[in-house]
Amino acid sequence: MSSTFSSPSDPSKLPLKPLPGSYGLPFFGPIKDRLDYFYNQGRDKFFSTKIEKYKSTIFRTNMPPGPFISSDSRVIAVLDAISFQILFDTTKVEKRNIFLGTYMPSTGYTGGYRVCAYLDPSEPNHSLIKRFFISLLVSRHNTFIPLFRNTLSELFVELQDQISDKGEANLNDFCNTLAFNFVFRLFCDKNPADTKIGSKGPTMCDKWIAFHLAPLGTLGFPKLLTLLEDSLLRTLPFPSFLIKSDYKKLYDGIYTSATAALDQAERLGLKRDEACHNLLFMVCFNAYGGIKTFFPALLRWVGLAGENLHKQLADEIRTVVRHEGGVSFGALDKMTLTKSVVYEALRIEPPVPYQYGKAKEDLVLHSHDAAFQIKKGEMIFGFQPFATNDPKIFENPDEFVGHRFVGEGEKLLKYVYWSNGRETENPTAEDKQCPGKNLVVLVSRLIIVEFFLRYDTFKVEEAKELLASTINIKSLTKASSI
């Protein structure tokens, strides 16, 4: 796959233009934009209409939730692969309290602490906590592959039984249990079933996450009731006591199981309870929330790509596993198509679509063809699916091309941004890139490998429901050769 990209010859020569777009009247402008965003146009059309109208991928707009949950909803949207990169430069943008955008849920949801994701790297606690996470990952590196494979094997039995009994299996439920059991066992060294969390971990996390994200969601009310729905979700924040008892169960389950991790945190200089609230957020929001969103999307894209791609994946995976004598880091690294398929799913549907950053100084933003001056304190907002589907970088960006990142295509990996950084770079304690980046890529390759070691092909179907869409596996065809 060749690149269509030619870099903006010299960004300093791009014409400096007035920044298009407007915020409208106070209060009414943000409300109009959010009704367009959720109900009148829908998310993607909201952005593409403005790109068309302003003939620019950088413009001013309001972003939900707006009044009264966020006190200032004015942002400068960056919607191409070039301007988006400003968000990774923490010398230029501040990331304090903007993990979810223009509002921050009460710290009552996180034990009274501002956890790592809300901290700017200029705050000393950020690098301390992130170092804790990175050291935890390093100490568990050798467990990644065997633990993930074991957790998955147990669940595959249930998946097959469900398909035989009911003619289909809910892939979202499967991925939720897989994600929670794997990350809990990895970081807390215990099976959650053996703690007071039991089998309720995914449900408790889903509820707790939903309260954080409620101002950015919809409930699927009929059209007549959209104004009611909108004001219910976005007028006042939901108080954290509503979720207190589930949070306490998760906290106690982690506190009593993750003794080795918490000892490690104390040695680094963190207080034990602050470390535990941070570990909870990392396990239940960042890691569980991220993986449970991405796996169904990955398997849907691969499932829908059809039997030809399945055959190529099965051939590659089985040949490498035979030659290497098993599934290892080395073996996974040789699977070029499998790697590419994972990167392609992360590119076409980045699981965390929004990133924010507040300008730390006056600066110049540039897109492919123009430059704009912005002021210190202005909020920059990136909608990632537009940046990683930028037609000036990726040929046929809306198409899932399994081979896109094979061979020469690897050069395009620097435009894959799902981890809040370039795929060619690695997270550090001093930046805001996802510390789980390499783990996520690894387990995503592993789930593809395990599918095609067991099965020749599989079929998926998407079912739209009231609150979300569900992916079902309709059939699994057992491997004809290994």
The nearest distance, CB 22 to ligand HEM, in angstroms, is 26
Q: Which of 219, 242, 352, 442 binds ligand HEM (CB under 6 A)?
A: 352
Closest distance to ligand HEM from the beta carbon of 428 (Å)? 9
| Binding residues among 159-218 for ligand HEM as defined by CB under 6 A | none
- Tell me if 299 sits within 8 A of 447, measured CB to CB: yes
Residue 271, strand partner residues: none
* In contact, 422 and 88? CB cutoff 8 Å: yes
Residue from 5, 84, 99, 405 touching ligand HEM (CB under 6 A): that is 99
What is the closest distance, in whole angstroms, from the C-beta atom of residue 354 to ligand HEM in the complex?
A: 8
Q: Are 59 and 78 in contact (CB under 8 A)?
A: no
Dist. CA 392–CA 167, nearest whole Å: 43
Site track 107-146 with ligand HEM (rule: CB under 6 A), x = hit: ---------xx------------x--x---x---------
Looking at the Cβ atoms of 111 and 436, the one nearer to ligand HEM is 436
In the bound complex, what is the minimum distance in angstroms from residue 102's beta carbon to ligand HEM? 13
Check whether 434 is labelled as a binding-site residue: yes
Residues 252-311 that bind ligand HEM (CB under 6 A): 282, 286-287, 290-291, 294
Peptide bond into 68 cis (omega under 30): yes
Can you tell me the distance from the alpha carbon of 86 to that of 374, in angstroms, rounded to the nearest whole number? 12
Coil vs helix vs strand at 354 = strand
Binding to ligand HEM by residue 432, rule CB under 6 A? yes
Q: How far apart are CA 468 and CA 471, in angstroms?
A: 10
Contact between 389 and ligand HEM (CB under 6 A)? no
Q: Which of 94, 387, 436, 447 binds ligand HEM (CB under 6 A)?
A: 436
Among 418, 452, 455, 458, which residue sits at the site for ligand HEM (rule: CB under 6 A)? 418
The CB-of-92 to ligand HEM minimum distance in angstroms stands at 15
Total chain residues near ligand HEM (CB under 6 A): 25
Q: Are the C-beta atoms of residues 98 and 406 closer than 8 Å to each other?
A: no
Q: How far is the CB of 95 from ligand HEM (least distance, A)?
A: 6
Instruction: Out of 435, 441, 454, 476, point to the residue binding ligand HEM (CB under 6 A).
Output: 435
User: What's the residue count for the chain?
Assistant: 482
DSSP bridge partners of 473 = 169, 460
CB 335 within 8 A of CB 454: no
Contact call for residues 448 and 461 (beta carbons, < 8 A): no
Exposure string (b/e) for 59-92, b if CB count within 10 Å is 16 or more? bbbbbbbbbebbeebbbbbbbbbbbbbbbbebeb
Question: Six-digit token pair at 114?
Answer: 């501002």
Binding positions:
434
Binding positions for heme:
434
* Residues making contact with ligand HEM (CB under 6 A): 95, 99, 116-117, 130, 133, 137, 282, 286-287, 290-291, 294, 351-352, 355, 418-420, 432, 434-436, 439-440
